[in-house]
Chain A
Amino acid sequence: MTIAVRNIAKYFGSFCAVDNVSFNVEKGELVALLGPSGSGKSTILRIIAGLETPDRGEVFITGRNVTELTAQQRKVGFVFQHYALFKHMTVEKNIAFGLEIQKRPRQEIAAKVSELINLVRLQGYEKHYPSQLSGGQRQRVALARTLATEPAVLLLDEPFGALDMKVRQNLAAWLKELHDKLHITSVFVTHDQSEAIEISDKIVIINRGRVEQMGDAHDVYEHPGSKFVASFIGQVNVIDASILDNRIMIKDTRHSIDNISDIPNGNDIVLLIRPEDITLEEKSGERCLPCVIKQIHYRGSFYELDLDIGGFIIKALENKNSFKREQWKQNQQAFMHVKHYKVFETEEGHNIIREQLRQLGYIE
């Protein structure tokens, strides 16, 4: 493995930003550190780079313990969210900086710079200053500057966070492509789960300074190990329920959704249902709940439905091709069929998870 993080912890005053975090990054992998803002993911990345000193734990890069080394000595590549280009230097000079520090011969620097300019597709911009470039171009310069010194690992701190949606998607796809070409071991920090799912080989989910779950995109999406992961990865409906006569009863209604046997009667639970796991039916059946159609929003490739089940609004997504729009009207009675759901017991505090979801904007 190329990067190993062992039991690192970091305190800012009494606030624990990173709490006993360990993970590995294998050679050539592209790993995403995914988590909400303030979760400590950037701090972890900065500790790997040597820009922060951990209070506990060790960092290994290519098998060497670098915990005591300064950022200058670690020879890692670091890309910043706001590019951190040297404002008073041209594109060329920015890219050449690291090579000049290493006192490489002039011809070699010139050759390397032009090679990188080609790689990041910025031909013709050599003499431009950062202020004359767009956000996407600036981030490409920053990447070229980082790659110039051929670092063993590449660390990217929310690299597309300051860009427009469109540019962001293009650049993310391009980074994936670049990674497939260069196979440089990379770790990038993001709070955008779709970005993480789209380009990473492995996702490390960070919450409150801890690793919540690790795995490939499919794993964390389909088999979330905790409520947090389930709700953070993708959109999700959070429904309060309780167990009565071995049945899951939706709170404040008399509707039951399914039978259940492994949770004692009387316990409160939380149901997590992804919108795409709900389909609208005319007749009741297994795992069906009566509902009223409140709104049908056209969203281009899909329809988003607001369904009322006794006061709760549940979001459902229907594919444009399979959904028969003309069949449904507003305020019509119908049944929602739940293909798949996840149960979490609430005793470890579902208020906390609700609060987190609220902050993330998934619920109001």
Chain B
Amino acid sequence: MTENILPRPKMRSGDALLRSASFGYIGLLIILPITVMIVRSLQGGLTALWADITLPQALFSLRLTIVTAFIMVLINIVTGTATAWVLVRYSFPGKQVMDALIDLPFAMPTIVAGIMLVALYGPRSVIGSFLQGHNIEVMFNTPGIILALLFVTFPFVVRAVQPVLIELDQDMEEAAKTLGASSATIFFRIVLPSLMPSILTGAALSFSRALGEFGSIIMVAGNIPFRTQVASVYIYGEIESYNPQGALGLSVVLLFFSFAILLLLNFIQYWNRRHEN
């Protein structure tokens, strides 16, 4: 009966104003540009868009982007988890400093990260000339791209796993111990499954970042078609040479990946909550 007596709560004018302001801002800055770009890409028809994406040079850059990002993610999963483990479970001199410096790649402009790597591994440096002497090319080559990606994405897995590891119920490990499980069994059957969602979150975030990375890659890898040209650099090249049509194809592909990864992240979060109380 009460619903007949009480009027529906009315929205206060201040609330309405705030809501329109935030919707308007997000609409103008995020929704509108993305929509316009997608509409623009479809104007020439799907076949034309597909033709743009499957141009040999575009396809090569896309493949290079995905392959390097994938290798980086594999390395990051191992090193990031190990780093988080060491920072949470062990104590050693300088731990606090290292913990604080983990975020350095997030604070550093990507172009500065690129310059740093060039300064260290470039042909003019000690290490660079040594490597060149042994015919190992890091700069302006695939290893350089992976190195740059590893640098800029280093904190993702560490910072995703660390809090989960801190909160992880150590009783579970002790329980497994009293049931006779070895350290390796405890790690792979008890600890790792509990860390999996956070490792995947960190991996997805670094993969997403790597697909779009530009500043550090252009410094260390340059812009050599069919060799070091990644997707973002390809798009940049097309824009610079006044060929926006050519840039649209890969832009839409990258945008699609961004959406897909955001969805994946939400799914991981949902999956993660499944076993929590």
Contacts and interface: CB of A to CB of B under 8 A. Distances in A.
Is there direct touching of A and B in the complex, by C-beta distance under 8 Å? yes
B134 interface: no
B126 to A, nearest CB: 47
A232 interface: no
Interface stretch (A95-103, A221-229, A246-254, A277-285): A95-103
Contacts of A5: none
A71 B169 contact: no
B174 A80 contact: yes
Contacts of B175: 78, 80, 84-86, 142, 145
B180 interface: yes
B13 interface: no
Contacts of A178: none
Given A71-B177, A72-B177, A101-B180, A84 B172 contact: yes
Contact of A72 (B181, B194, B277): B181
Interface in A93-113: 97-98, 101-102
B178 interface: yes
Contacts of B274: 129, 131
A97 B172 contact: no
Interface in B137-193: 169, 171-172, 174-182, 185, 189-190, 193
B15 interface: no
A75 B275 CA distance: 29
Contact of A131 (B190, B194, B277): B277
Nearest to A51: B174
A76 B178 contact: yes
Give the one of A49, A74, A97, A131 with max B CB within 10 A.
A97
- The main secondary structure of chain B at its interface with chain A is helix
B274 to A, nearest CB: 7
A75 B177 CA distance: 9
B3 interface: no
B177 A101 contact: no
A72 B180 contact: yes
A130 B182 CA distance: 23
A75 B180 contact: yes
B77 to A, nearest CB: 18
A84 B276 contact: no
A179 B42 CA distance: 74
Nearest to A81: B171
Interface in B257-271: none
A40 interface: no
A82 interface: yes
A97 B189 CA distance: 10
B179 A145 contact: yes
A149 interface: yes
A299 interface: no
A77 interface: yes
Contacts of B172: 84-87
B217 to A, nearest CB: 38
A85 B173 CA distance: 10
B178 A49 contact: yes
A102 to B, nearest CB: 6
A80 B178 CA distance: 11
Interface string A162-194: 000000000000000000000000000000000
A142 B171 CA distance: 12
A131 B178 contact: no
A82 B178 contact: no
A77 to B, nearest CB: 7
A129 B275 contact: yes
B179 A101 contact: yes
Contacts of A88: 193-194, 275
Nearest to B173: A84
Give the one of A75, A101, A129, A142 with max B CB within 10 A.
A101
A81 to B, nearest CB: 8
Contact of B174 (A71, A75, A98): A71
A101 B171 contact: no
A51 B180 contact: no
Nearest to B273: A131
Contacts of A149: 179-180
B259 to A, nearest CB: 29
16 contacts: A50-B177, A70-B177, A71-B174, A72-B177, A80-B174, A80-B175, A84-B175, A85-B172, A86-B175, A87-B276, A97-B179, A97-B181, A102-B180, A129-B275, A130-B275, A146-B179
Interface of B: 169, 171-172, 174-182, 185, 189-190, 193-194, 274-277
**Would you list the 10 A-B pairs with minimal beta carbon distance, nearest first?**
A84-B171, A98-B179, A78-B178, A84-B175, A87-B275, A71-B177, A88-B193, A80-B171, A101-B180, A72-B180
Given A83-B171, A84-B174, A87-B275, 6 more contacts: A71-B178, A72-B180, A78-B174, A97-B181, A131-B274, A145-B175
